[in-house]
Structure 1
Amino acid sequence: MTGPDDVHATPVLDVRDLRRHFASPTGTVRAVDGVSLTIGPGEVVGLVGESGSGKSTVGRCVVRLDEPTDGRVVIDGTDVTTLSARAMRPLRRNVHLVFQDPSSSLNPRMTIRQIITEPIRLHRLAGRAEAARRVDELLRRVGLRPELADRKPHQLSGGQRQRVSIARALAVEPVLLVADEPTSALDVSVQASVLNLLADLQRERGFGCLFITHDLAAVEYLADRIAVMYLGRIVEQAPAAELFADPKHPYTQALLSAAPVPDPEEQRGRTRILLGGDLPSPLDPPPGCHFHTRCPLATDRCRTEAPELRTVPSAEDGGVPRQVACHLVAEDGTAPDAAHVPVTAGV
């Protein structure tokens, strides 16, 4: 986790005005439509939003599994946006992706030892004996017995396979880990153990992390800062504690109101914000603020003018400023409460 001095350090990830558009027979899908975010050394940034918001596409563009349509991705000071595959190869040591489903990301023909050794071998980081020692060490560190190294992925449980994925990602000591819904394919009983492992490893090794999820409880536990996406755009960014204590954007307010809390008495006293209408298609996003078709607070200005992501006062003096893209949030950060407005959007 970051300290107060880390916010001024050179970012391990700097994304500027990232766009990823896909051509389709019926038009252009604007999956990511102008996203900017940074991650400092040792910082965990959560990227949250509904399915279809574009958050996984941001992660794929960061690691160059998808090619950005426009914008810049700078990893540890190097702009990787237009690098060739050959030029990108040595830099892949700096960033690794942990996929949502470990079953589809681990080669079923390889043993666990071969899977974890592969990135060490490709980057020529150790000889055979040292690589074998490092694999045993990594397996122990992620909570697996070294004897499992000679098994294949199908012989392990889902939680064990995800731990192998994490061990493989950390084998080359990256400066940035992109974790794309790393617990959503796991049983609830093992999700917490994997999250605890990620938190422990991040504190121990100090890598930056882009944590992509729809699980608000997980992101509150793991992230230093949270960015909220809606239909390809970031609508709010803030330190995690501030975002949960005082959400500014009506969409963020609605998301948090839908998340259950462990205290039954507190849960009964909460007001659920019900959004009108359906999530618009990225093929034909609404004009102005993309959220206006579902927002109970929308005005005529919201329907015609897209709000800029702008800085508002933060409760953390000298810390990372919070940002919001909403015409209704005042310059001093005062925001209306969508929970006390009747739902009319989409009608």
Structure 2
Amino acid sequence: MSALCEVEDLVLHFGRVRAVDGVNLRVDRGQVVALVGESGSGKSTVGRCVVRLLQPTSGRILLGGVDVTTLNRRRLRPHRHKVSIIFQDPAGSLDPRFRVGDIVAEPLRVGSERVPGRQRSARAHEMLEKVGLPARIAARFPHELSGGQRQRVGIARALVSGPDLLIADEPTSALDVSVQAAVLNLLADLQRDLGFGCLFITHDLSAVEYLADTVAVMYLGRIVESGRVLATPRHPYTQALLSASPWPDPDAQRARTRVVLSGELPSPADPPSGCRFHTRCPVAEARCRTEEPVLRRVEGGSVACHLVGEDGSGPQLITPAASRAAAPPAPPSPA
């Protein structure tokens, strides 16, 4: 499968704050890659670097084989239509002065391949219908819509230019629980029908299980595990995330193994020496405090942990059955 986006040794420092500190990531065509982790781990910063809303400190971001980190504003314009982003806050990401139709059509007006006005309007109406909104909603302003409708408008705007890669930055976290399933189903259907690659940034592991082909787990600016980690989590941090996710079965919820992490997420301005997770890890050893683990291939994926062997064996803080049950069934079809 050909690579759509390759992130190589990505670093972004805000002064002393190491928001992203050496991330490697790959998204293939038609693939959904989930990037998960706690708030403050650097997930959204990676996504904004890929879209070039932020300029990395160092590293490379290849889109279709072209390193976009080296392009100036003029040379970057032809690549803008290849990647789009859905923002976390549907209200804050839509200009309140514009009508919905103009918001959705805006990428067609400012893109490298500018589309005439009448065609822009027709394509905006078509995309609104694809995301489950009637064409008449194009005449409304964002404040006249519900949160779920506004997020659908954001999805329509992101996809109207036909991007190859979509960055979905926690697209359901600001929505009511009753609306989240419908939006997840919509993204799954659109990805299947349109075939774009997707970097799905979230902390909702049930959504990851439903949408993602592969998962990368991020902690304090670095990826600590990647692969099909929900079925066979190896890193203690991944196991802790899974143990904290809600289960649909109340009896299983009560009987489950829970991993309680001590302390708070360390400051990215002063990360711990050695393994960055050792200050909270329940099985850390002396080596973990002094020697930084590298992300290496093991059976079934990659992991950065001294305690995991080449065959994938390592600390089991939760049972394999518990990890498989971490996600609830697929969300119901939207009404």
Q: Common fold, TM-score beyond 0.5? A: yes
Q: Tell me, what secondary structure is at the counterpart of 1:103?
A: coil
Give the match for residue 280 of structure 2.
294
CA distance in 2, matches of 1:329, 1:151: 55
Partner of 1:151: 140
Q: How is 1:63-82 mapped onto 2 (pairs within 5 angstroms)?
A: 63-82=51-70
Matched, 1:141 2:130: yes
Q: Which residue of 1 aligns with 2:199?
A: 210
Please name the residue that 2:103 is paired with. Answer: 115
Distance 1:136 1:39 in 2: 30
Name 2:184's counterpart in structure 1: 195
Query: Which of 83, 92, 101 is equivalent to 1:104?
Result: 92
Instruction: Give the total of aligned pairs.
Output: 318
2:2 paired residue number = 10
Aligned pair partner of 2:310 in 316, 331, 343? 331
Q: Which runs of 5+ in 1 are unaligned?
A: 1-8, 315-321, 341-347
Counterpart Cα distance in 2 of 1:144 and 1:108: 18
DSSP 3-state at the match of 1:102: coil
The unaligned stretches of length 5 or more in structure 2 are 320-335
The residue that corresponds to 2:166 in the other structure is 177
Alignment match of 1:270 (pick from 251, 256, 269)? 256
Alignment partner of 1:245: what SS? coil
How much has 1:339 moved relative to structure 2?
A: 4.8
Who is 2:325 aligned against? none
Q: Find the aligned partners of 2:264 and 2:155 in 1 and give their Cα distance.
A: 36
Query: Please, what is the CA RMSD of the aligned residues?
Result: 1.1
Identity %: 63
In the alignment, which residue of structure 2 is the partner of 1:228?
Answer: 217
SS of aligned partner of 2:230:
helix
Q: What is the CA-CA distance between 1:127 and the residue it aligns to? A: 2.4
The structure 1 residue matched to 2:152, chosen from 139, 163, 166, is 163
CA distance in 1, matches of 2:230, 2:318: 15
Aligned to 2:230: 244
* Equivalent-residue separation in structure 1 for 2:258 and 2:23 (angstroms): 28
By how many angstroms is 1:338 displaced? 2.8
Q: C-alpha separation between the residues in 1 aligned to 2:30 and 2:52?
A: 22
Q: Paired residue for 2:40? A: 52
1:176·1:209 contact (CA, 8 Å) conserved in 2?
yes
Question: Displacement of 1:125 after TM fit?
Answer: 4.8
The answer to whether 1:19 aligns with 2:11 is yes
CA distance in 1, matches of 2:114, 2:14: 37
**Cα distance in 1 for residues equivalent to 2:13 and 2:47:** 14
> Corresponding residue for 1:89?
77
